[in-house]
A = this chain, B = another copy of it.
């Protein structure tokens, strides 16, 4: 299951992507429009900014804005920042790999091989979707 952090993060980014002008959008505006706790959203947007997806502006008429064009923001990258690994098991993760303590041989592990297939499929989807692709 996806954390609501991820859900909120993506929703916020799509909201910014839908804006016509490039002027900053305030946290409060997004929070109200997407029904998200403002304080919680604050911390999520901070994460996204530090990850390089968003820019920010302080003070009056400040807010957040997309750093790149929606077409250039891959969902794979967004998912990895917000949710962490895309794989269902650490031993098939590309970016968060970890060996299973209990498993002597990955190559003959049924779980490993099954989840490898799932990961490949999911990754293909996220790799081929940009932020621009998912706004309807």
Contacts and interface: CB of A to CB of B under 8 A. Distances in A.
B110 A2 contact: no
Copies of this protein in the assembly total 2
A109 B102 CA distance: 40
Interface of A: 1-2, 7, 10-11, 14, 34-36, 75, 84-85, 87-90, 100-103, 108-111, 113-115, 117-118, 121-122, 125-126, 129, 134-136
A2 B114 contact: no
A36 B100 CA distance: 12
A2 B125 contact: no
A34 B102 contact: yes
A136 to B, nearest CB: 5
Contacts of A122: 118, 121-122
Given A89-B2, A102-B35, A110 B125 contact: no
Contact of A136 (B10, B34, B108): B108
